[in-house]
């Protein structure tokens, strides 16, 4: 039989072993928690940041705790970039406490205010406050309602410049409206590919010819053979007219008619009224016809212009360039978009390799690039939050 001393030693050894086991287990649990947090927190943080971004863009108050946790003050300053297309004006938004934060180029759509468009400023500011450096270059052609191939080079040159400023690390590129399709074309160009980390196309075109046809018919074919039926906004057809006005009016009338059409697109009522006042009766009739984008005569002219500029439209269409694209792509489209129909994103998603397409969402929360906060469900909003969280996480992840 063991002596009492032996029993004491045995129980003591057992106690020490149990204590050591508990310490090892506690250390394991702590290590597991740390490792889990290291993986989980970046995703959780990205989702919280996405909530804050959408609140800020939608002019909604960000909850105080969330604001404290994931947002910070920003600084802005304008810069001039030397590109192959000349000097490009741009604005850099930076989080105050993270001057070397991940970099993202955000490109405006077809709008005369360019990089000064209020919605773009709000979006860039929101993304910067949530930890990204955001560069918004001005695309001069697109600012003047011309969707041309020159903007592809400007986008690529801008990404190259920002990548150099980013320590030779590639940058994300986000294009709004037609700029999204042009961003995909820039990423498909070997000259710019290494500078672009990923592309986000929001409300963008796959085939310009198909979009132009939609402006006449209100129909856009989906990849599955069904048709998206949605009355088009007059804006799309008017941009087509403005871009190729020589196809719609006599040469002698181009200058005065362009002045009216420009003021109409700019939503400058006073300027439009003044430009209309100087038109001759025949010119006034021509202008009335141009503004009626639903008339048979106008649609016939639109069809003729499509045929004439088919090659130009192909040059600004991602269609045919996506199957070989290796840059990660994120696609987002508003379900009720009547400027560029959501079927275009379905086409892009069908053409992209599965390993390249990281996420695709057609959301009822969006129209074209605006947020609708009334009709969508909580799950619809969550899907949009998750989409933006993926973008924020991709920006943070090292290439």
pLDDT tens per residue, range 279-335: 999 999 999 999 999 999 999 999 999 999 999 999 999 999 999 999 999 999 999
Q: Higher model confidence: residue 277 or residue 377?
A: 277
Average pLDDT over residues 51-70: 79
Domains by residue range for the chain, with CATH: 64-210+313-396 (3.40.50.1820), 245-308 (no CATH)
Average pLDDT over residues 245-256: 96
Per-residue pLDDT band at 115 (split at 50, 70, 90): very high
pLDDT exceeds 90 at position 120: yes
Token couple for 382: 């969550």
76 burial via Cβ count (<10 Å: 0-12, 13-18, 19+): middle
pLDDT exceeds 70 at position 369: no
Digit-coded pLDDT (tens) for 168-212? 999 999 999 999 999 999 999 999 999 999 999 999 999 999 999
Of 71, 116, 62, the residue nearest 98 (C-alpha)? 71
Digit-coded pLDDT (tens) for 226-238? 999 999 999 999 9
Which residue, chain included where needed, has tokens 């290590």? 31
Three-state secondary-structure class, residue 158: helix
* CA-CA-CA-CA dihedral for 228, 229, 233, 234, to nearest 10: 110
pLDDT exceeds 70 at position 274: yes
Of 298, 351, 305, 345, the residue nearest 325 (C-alpha)? 351
What DSSP string runs through 174-241?
A: EEETHHHHHHHHHHHSTTTGGGEEEEEEES--S-HHHHHHHHHHSEEE-TTS-EEE-PPPHHHHHHHH
Structural element, H or E, at residue 126: helix 118-129
Per-residue pLDDT band at 37 (split at 50, 70, 90): very low
C-alpha distances (whole Å) from 136 to each of 94, 193, 201 are 12, 19, 15
Which residue, chain included where needed, has tokens 């190259």? 160
Token couple for 333: 């489209």
197 burial via Cβ count (<10 Å: 0-12, 13-18, 19+): buried
Least confident range of 8-17, 141-150, 376-385: 8-17
Of 318, 310, 301, 81, the residue nearest 178 (C-alpha)? 318
Q: What average pLDDT does the structure give for the chain?
A: 89
Give percent above pLDDT 90 in the chain: 75
Q: Secondary structure of the chain: what % helix, strand, coil (to 5)?
A: 55, 15, 30
d(CA 353, CA 384): 23
- Phi and psi at 45, nearest 5°, equal -60, -45
d(CA 47, CA 54): 11
Tell me what pLDDT residue 158 has: 97
pLDDT exceeds 70 at position 137: yes
């Amino acid at each position: 039989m063991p002596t009492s001393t032996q029993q004491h030693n045995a129980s003591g050894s057992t106690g020490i072993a149990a204590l050591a086991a508990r310490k090892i287990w506690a250390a394991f649990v702590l290590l597991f928690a740390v490792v889990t947090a290291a993986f989980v927190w970046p995703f959780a943080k990205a989702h919280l940041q996405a909530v804050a971004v959408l609140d800020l863009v939608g002019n909604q108050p960000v909850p105080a705790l969330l604001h404290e946790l994931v947002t910070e003050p920003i600084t802005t300053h304008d810069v001039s970039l030397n590109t192959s297309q000349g000097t490009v004006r741009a604005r850099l938004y930076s989080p105050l406490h993270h001057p070397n934060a991940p970099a993202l180029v955000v490109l405006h759509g077809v709008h005369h205010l360019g990089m000064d468009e209020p919605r773009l400023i709000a979006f860039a500011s929101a993304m910067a406050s949530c930890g990204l450096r955001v560069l918004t270059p001005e695309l001069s052609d697109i600012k003047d309602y011309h969707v041309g191939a020159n903007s592809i080079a400007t986008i690529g040159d801008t990404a190259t410049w920002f990548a150099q400023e980013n320590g030779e690390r590639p940058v994300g590129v986000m294009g709004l409206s037609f700029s999204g399709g042009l961003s995909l074309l820039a990423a498909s160009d070997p000259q710019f590919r290494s500078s672009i980390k990923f592309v986000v196309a929001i409300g963008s075109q796959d085939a310009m010819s198909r979009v132009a046809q939609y402006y006449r018919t209100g129909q856009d074919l989906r990849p599955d053979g069904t048709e998206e039926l949605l009355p088009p906004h007059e804006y799309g057809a008017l941009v087509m007219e403005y871009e190729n006005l020589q196809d719609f009016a006599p040469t002698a009338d181009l200058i005065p008619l362009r002045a009216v059409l420009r003021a109409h697109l700019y939503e400058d009522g006073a300027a439009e009224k003044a430009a209309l006042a100087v038109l001759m009766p025949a010119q006034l009739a021509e202008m009335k016809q141009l503004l009626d984008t639903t008339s048979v005569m106008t649609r016939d002219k639109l069809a003729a212009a499509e045929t004439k500029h088919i090659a130009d439209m192909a040059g600004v269409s991602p269609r045919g360039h996506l199957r070989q694209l290796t840059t990660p792509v994120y696609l987002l489209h508003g379900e009720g978009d009547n400027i560029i129909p959501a079927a275009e994103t379905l086409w892009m998603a069908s053409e992209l390799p599965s390993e390249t397409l990281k996420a695709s969402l057609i959301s009822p929360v969006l129209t074209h690039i605006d947020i609708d906060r009334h009709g969508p469900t909580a799950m619809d909003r969550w899907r949009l939050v998750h989409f933006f969280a993926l973008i924020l996480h991709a920006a943070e992840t090292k290439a």
